[in-house]
Amino acid sequence: MTPTVLVVDDEPDVRLMLRLKLRREQFDVIEATGGVHALEILAQTTPDVIILDLRMPDVDGWAVLRALGEIGRLAHLKVITFSAHATNNAVEQALALGSRAHVSKSRSLDQIVGTIRAVLAA
């Protein structure tokens, strides 16, 4: 069965890049352009893993993470937080909020895919 990845990022090119890569790696990809959009999608479907950008306008990744935690969905949703440059402190905070892993945007696409596979296998 093909795993589904929800990519949440306000940057169209970042989504495009991940979509191209993940499709080649045999994932199904759905995309959200922001926090509100992501929550709308999650109300209807449950992807196998979520790549969540922390820094977005309006409803950011932090808000999405908290919202999911509040409605008790993080036990079943595998969230990987994603950011251009996060401090150790921010990474710890994201993990404490229920994220399964954090990956930096400066990592190679193969490393990002590796993180997704590791989280799926856990």
Q: Where on the chain is the footprint of other proteins (CB under 8 A)?
A: 10-14, 16-18, 20-21, 24, 33, 55-58, 60, 84-85, 105-106, 108-110
Whole-number Å distance between alpha carbons of 32 and 37: 5
**Least distance CB 52 / other proteins (angstroms):** 14
Task: Supply angle C-alpha 117, 39, 80, rounded to 5.
Answer: 25
Look at the block and give the residue holding tokens 């990809």. 29
Residue 31: name the closest of 13, 61, 64, 8 by CA: 8
Q: 74 or 112: whose CB is closer to other proteins?
A: 112
Q: Rank residues 76 and 102 by Cβ distance to other proteins and give the closer one.
A: 102
For the bound state, the minimum distance from the C-beta of residue 76 to other proteins, rounded and expressed in Å, comes to 27
